[in-house]
Amino acid sequence: MWGGRTGAWLRGWGLWPTGILGRRSINCNAASPAGSSCPQCWNCGGPRGSIRGDGFFCPQCRALQPPDPTRDHFSLMDCNRSFRVDTVKLQHRYQQLQRLVHPDFFSRRSQTEKDFSEKHSTLVNDAYKTLLAPLSRGLYLVS
């Protein structure tokens, strides 16, 4: 599904899920405190771990994972948590994320992945709109 130009683009931006094409998976137990459980993929049951592509996809089966409810807009859009935001970088990150999670790219996937795609896309849209406008960005920072 992600071959050709799209796959090359994703690999170039570091968004290709780890465990594919020779990339190493990061063991989630190394980053988490002892005794805590690692999030598991809803599709294959494998450990999701933290991967360079923001954890959107399972490193084993490449299924889209549910959005992280604890993630804030700044980390999602790869911006520093401050009032000053590089709007050009923000726009590029928005386009990059929408190429990954937009529902149009999941039309041939399972209903679960379609639902996750809609949720991710909505979160990306909300984060972009909030951080783009100075007033809403300031209000988000103080909340």
97 pLDDT more than 80: yes
Residue 96 zone, left/alpha/beta (φ > 0; ψ -120 to 50; rest): alpha
Using one digit for the tens of pLDDT, what is the confidence trace for 32-61?
A: 444 445 678 999 988 876 544 567 999 889
Q: Residues 116-133: what's their mean pLDDT?
A: 97
Report the C-alpha gap between 11 and 45 in whole angstroms: 24
Q: Model pTM greater than 0.85?
A: no
- CA atoms lying within 13 Å on the CB side of residue 73: 24
Q: Which of 56, 58, 60, 62 is nearest to 100 (CA)?
A: 56
Report the 10 Å Cβ neighbour count for 64.
25
